């Protein structure tokens, strides 16, 4: 009975945290892009615009859901549901931390562990193309159809280097379970260099990591690979005929896929929740970072740019100091430290997604396909062959 109750609690916590992260990822993206472009970004709804995601959700829910008369109503409605459900399901097999004890019950920070978890994530991401393709076809609109066709060709093309980039580190780790993948990356070379797959012998997988990230950009339709939308050519691409929550579902799916790619990259290449430095050094780093954040907040609170800054920044500073103190509690460190490193690594990758959007222009479609088939896929295959050869000759 306790097991089922704990499982329900984990499902509620993971769902709540994941959906909240998706909402605020949009806020973070708008803020980062605004700073890149020397703009303030959203700041009117709540302190520093923190309630802007809630305002957007209310607006989209209350907005009239207009369905054009010429669409295929069943598939038109099915497409956004399919897109968002397939984007969310992968989170069920991804671990967030090691085994912990809660009220005397040992459990993993994970909903379920599949021995073929990697294959499950690849299969779900491959099927995800149907949501976008159906949206373009069912809209019965030439712009939507071309956008859907572009997306199908793009996602199928980049699935190949995406999967091959994952296959290379699997030769080193010899498992398809995400838990075992992370456990195989524990420990350090020479006492300080982490045994992550990007550093692990006999052939470090830095090339696979870069290929995976590039293909991940294309799989999530992010700049510079956002050709399925290409609003300067196709109005709004495959979702031209969508409005209200149906329209929002596609963007929710995009952010969910972006988060999934970052989490999988963290697990496959960056050691998951394993710290970059051994204890006790890694145990103090979160506290030091939070203390620095608090100092920055107090500094800006003392020199406010807006009238509310003198209250909001000191409040954020006090919260940061409280979190810094919590990270020093020995009984909580086995839970908090792995979570911190896992979230920090995934957060850095998400920042890269946003940073690239504010930096690079969009590819032409011929450039996009040429890059996939004549460069990225051959390099991924060559990396896989070299990895297999090195494992065969100098394997563990």
Q: How confident is the model at residue 69 (pLDDT cuts 50, 70, 90)?
A: confident
Give the pairing of strands 188-189 and 97-102. unpaired
Residue 300 has pLDDT above 70, yes or no: yes
Angstrom distance (rounded) from CA 18 to CA 73: 30
- Tell me if 308 is assigned to some domain: no
- Structural domains counted in the chain: 1
Q: What average pLDDT does the segment 152-174 reach?
A: 90
- Tell me if 30 is assigned to some domain: no
* Residue-wise pLDDT tens digits, 211-252: 999 999 988 888 888 776 665 666 677 888 888 888 888 888
For CA atoms 47, 51, 53, 55, the dihedral sign is: negative
- Tell me if 60 is assigned to some domain: no
Strands annotated E in the chain = 97-102, 105-109, 188-189, 193-194
Residue 1 has pLDDT above 60, yes or no: no
- Tell me if 350 is assigned to some domain: yes
Q: Which residue has the higher pLDDT, 65 or 90?
A: 90
In sequence order, what are the residues at sequence separation of 6 or more whose Cβ sits closer than 8 angstroms to the Cβ of residue 70?
Answer: 140, 141
- Tell me if 15 is assigned to some domain: no
Lowest mean pLDDT among 52-61, 99-108, 306-315, 374-383: 99-108
- Tell me if 151 is assigned to some domain: yes
pTM, rounded to two decimals: 0.92
Q: Where in the sequence is the domain holding 94, given as residue range(s)? A: 69-274+329-394
Helices (H), 240-332: 244-269, 281-302, 309-326
In sequence order, what are the residues at sequence separation of 6 or more whose Cβ sits closer than 8 angstroms to the Cβ of residue 118?
Answer: 166, 170, 176, 177, 178, 181, 268
DSSP calls for 215-244: HHHHHTT-TTS-TTT-HHHHTTGGGTT--H
Residue 381 has pLDDT above 90, yes or no: yes
DSSP state of 306: S
* Residue-wise pLDDT tens digits, 37-54: 888 888 888 888 888 988
- Tell me if 342 is assigned to some domain: yes
Residue 209 has pLDDT above 90, yes or no: yes
Residue 265 has pLDDT above 90, yes or no: yes
- Tell me if 321 is assigned to some domain: no
Q: What average pLDDT does the segment 196-215 reach?
A: 91
């Amino acid at each position: 009975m306790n097991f089922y109750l704990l499982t329900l609690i984990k499902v509620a916590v993971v769902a709540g945290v994941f959906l909240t992260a998706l909402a605020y990822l949009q806020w973070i993206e708008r803020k980062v892009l605004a700073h890149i472009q020397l703009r303030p970004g959203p700041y009117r709804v709540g302190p520093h615009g923190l309630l802007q995601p809630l305002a957007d959700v209310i607006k989209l829910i209350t907005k009239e859901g207009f369905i054009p008369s010429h669409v295929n109503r069943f598939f038109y409605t099915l497409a956004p549901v399919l897109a968002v459900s397939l984007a969310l399901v992968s989170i069920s097999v991804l671990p967030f931390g090691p085994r912990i004890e809660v009220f005397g019950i040992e459990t993993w920070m994970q909903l379920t562990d599949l021995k073929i978890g990697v294959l499950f994530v690849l299969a779900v991401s491959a099927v995800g193309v149907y949501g976008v393709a159906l949206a373009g076809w069912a809209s019965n609109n030439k712009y939507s159809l071309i956008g859907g066709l572009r997306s199908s060709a793009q996602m199928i093309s980049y699935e190949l280097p995406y999967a091959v980039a994952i296959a290379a580190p699997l030769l080193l780790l010899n498992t398809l379970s995400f838990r075992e993948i992370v456990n195989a990356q524990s420990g350090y070379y020479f006492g300080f260099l982490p045994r992550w797959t990007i550093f692990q012998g006999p052939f470090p997988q830095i090339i696979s990591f870069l290929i995976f990230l590039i293909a991940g950009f294309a799989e999530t339709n992010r700049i510079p690979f956002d050709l399925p939308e290409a609003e300067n050519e196709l109005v709004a691409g495959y979702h031209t005929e969508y409005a209200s929550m149906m329209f929002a579902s596609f963007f929710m799916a995009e952010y969910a896929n972006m988060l999934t790619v970052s989490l999988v990259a963290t697990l496959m290449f960056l050691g998951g929740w394993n710290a970059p430095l051994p204890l006790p050094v890694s145990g103090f780093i979160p506290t030091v970072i939070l203390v620095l954040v608090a100092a920055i907040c107090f500094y800006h609170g003392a020199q406010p740019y807006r009238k509310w800054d003198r209250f909001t920044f000191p409040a954020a500073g006090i919260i940061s100091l409280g979190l810094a103190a919590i990270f020093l509690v020995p009984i909580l460190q086995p839970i908090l430290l792995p979570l911190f490193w896992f979230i920090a690594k995934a957060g850095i990758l998400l920042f890269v997604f946003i940073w690239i959007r504010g930096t690079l222009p969009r590819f032409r479609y011929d450039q996009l396909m040429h890059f996939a088939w004549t460069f990225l896929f051959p390099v991924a295959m060559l990396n896989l062959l070299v990895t297999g050869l090195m494992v065969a000759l100098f394997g563990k």
